[in-house]
């Protein structure tokens, strides 16, 4: 019989987690969930006030602790400084993203650069800043948010989808390169989640309901429903999981394009 303590598999006591994009949505829920499992959580966001609100509201949970940190992943000097000041960081969670919903041929170069810069270059820059410390210590978990759009796309989502597919392949390369040094890297692919990023869709009832009906569960997700996947990938419960894309999409990619015939 194994002597492994399964009751502790998801615990994060003694670990420091940096959640980038913790000011709202999935990032905020992730920060609270990690703290609830015992981690010391640095709530980073370009909006320092939003990060502070996350830290303040989450600090009521006595399990872990939360601290606010103004941080812009597009500022590589700030990232380098943070990596040096915050070391050690055991868990890195990357949630920031933006989207411009337009056909590819209608995209401007400025719009393309804006989406690629935050979604893909921002992930690359953060990994480059914090992964070396993990590799030196011989342990660490990097968790980046991709999307169902990494594997299934629709008109108007081309550039966004390209960045989210790029995040998956980037994390897989990191997993391959740093796995021998004890660093794991995985991506989470949410389906439709009610966050500020999807406010445009939520405001259109027909569009909102059409997306809800695309999943097996027939509804949208709330940000806190992504937090369990983050805790899993951050913890020893996923100690043999790396280079993976974990869908948390209510079954969207399993049944996408379904047709229920009149039987």
Question: 245-258, pLDDT tens digit by residue?
Answer: 999 999 999 998 77
Instruction: Output the CA torsion 248→253→257→263 (10° steps).
Output: -80
Find the mean pLDDT for residues 78-93. 97
Calpha distance 34→40 (Å, rounded): 8
| Contact between residue 89 and residue 133 where contact means Cβ atoms under 8 Å apart | yes
For the four alpha carbons of 136, 138, 139 and 144, in that order, the dihedral sign comes to positive
Decide if 1 is inside a domain.
no
Decide if 157 is inside a domain.
yes
Decide if 258 is inside a domain.
no
For 247, other C-beta atoms within 10 Å of its C-beta total 20
Decide if 6 is inside a domain.
no
Q: Note the pLDDT of residue 60.
A: 59
Decide if 171 is inside a domain.
yes
Find the mean pLDDT for residues 185-212. 90
pTM: 0.94
CA distances from 192 to 11, 91, 146, 149, 198 (A): 28, 25, 12, 10, 8
Q: Does pLDDT of 63 surpass 80?
A: no
* DSSP tag of 236: G
Tokens matching residue 246: 């974990």
Calpha distance 192→217 (Å, rounded): 12
Classify 126 as helix, strand or coil: helix
Q: Note the pLDDT of residue 190.
A: 97
Find the mean pLDDT for residues 52-59. 86
Calpha distance 184→86 (Å, rounded): 19
Find the mean pLDDT for residues 81-102. 96
Decide if 255 is inside a domain.
no
Decide if 72 is inside a domain.
yes
**10: enclosing H helix or E strand:** none
Instruction: Say which of 160, 208, 211, 259 is annotated catalytic.
Output: 160
7-29 pLDDT, tens per residue? 999 999 999 999 999 999 999 99
Find the mean pLDDT for residues 201-217. 90
- pLDDT category, 198, cuts 50, 70, 90? confident
Q: Note the pLDDT of residue 136.
A: 98
Q: Note the pLDDT of residue 257.
A: 73
Contacts by residues 117-121 (CB-CB < 8 Å, ≥ 24 positions apart): 117/74, 118/73, 118/74, 119/160, 119/163, 119/164, 119/166, 119/167, 120/163, 120/166, 120/167, 120/170, 121/74
Q: Does 259 qualify as catalytic in the annotation?
A: no
Calpha distance 126→115 (Å, rounded): 16
Angle 122-137/158-178 helices, nearest 10 degrees?
10
**17: enclosing H helix or E strand:** strand 16-20
Classify 29 as helix, strand or coil: helix
Q: Note the pLDDT of residue 230.
A: 98
Q: HSE (CB half, 13 Å, CA atoms) of 137?
A: 16
Q: How many domains does the chain divide into?
A: 1
Calpha distance 205→229 (Å, rounded): 29
Q: Note the pLDDT of residue 239.
A: 98
- pLDDT category, 1, cuts 50, 70, 90? very low
- pLDDT category, 261, cuts 50, 70, 90? low
Decide if 151 is inside a domain.
yes
- Expressed as residue numbers, the domain containing 137 is 12-246
Find the mean pLDDT for residues 113-126. 98
pLDDT above 70: percentage of residues in the chain? 95
Q: Which backbone phi and psi does 185 adopt, to 5 degrees?
A: -140, 125
- Higher-confidence position of 40 and 200: 40
Q: Which CATH number characterizes residue 138's domain?
A: 3.40.50.720
What's the whole-number average pLDDT of the chain? 94
Q: Does pLDDT of 188 surpass 50?
A: yes
């Amino acid at each position: 019989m194994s002597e492994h303590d399964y009751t502790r598999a998801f615990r994060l006591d003694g670990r420091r987690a940096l959640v980038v994009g913790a000011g709202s949505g999935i990032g905020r829920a992730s920060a609270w969930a990690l703290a609830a499992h015992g981690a010391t959580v640095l709530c980073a966001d370009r909006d320092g006030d939003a990060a502070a609100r996350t830290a303040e509201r989450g600090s009521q949970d006595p399990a872990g602790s939360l601290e606010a940190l103004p941080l812009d992943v597009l500022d590589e000097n700030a990232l380098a400084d943070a990596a040096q000041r915050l070391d050690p960081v055991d868990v890195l969670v990357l949630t920031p993203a933006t989207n411009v919903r337009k056909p590819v041929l209608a995209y401007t170069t400025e719009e393309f650069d804006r989406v690629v810069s935050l979604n893909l270059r921002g992930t690359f820059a953060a990994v480059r800043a914090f992964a070396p410390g993990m590799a030196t210590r011989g342990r660490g978990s990097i968790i980046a948010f991709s999307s169902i759009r990494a594997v299934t796309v629709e008109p108007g989502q081309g550039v966004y989808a390209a960045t989210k597919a790029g995040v998956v392949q980037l994390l897989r390369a990191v997993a391959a390169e740093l796995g021998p040094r004890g660093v794991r890297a995985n991506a989470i692919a949410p389906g439709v989640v009610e966050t500020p990023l999807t406010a445009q869709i939520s405001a259109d009832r027909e569009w909102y309901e059409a997306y809800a009906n695309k999943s097996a569960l027939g509804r949208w997700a709330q940000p806190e429903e992504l937090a369990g996947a983050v805790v899993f990938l951050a913890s020893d419960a996923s100690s043999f999981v790396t280079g993976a894309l974990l869908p948390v999409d209510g079954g969207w990619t399993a049944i996408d394009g379904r047709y229920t015939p009149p039987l």
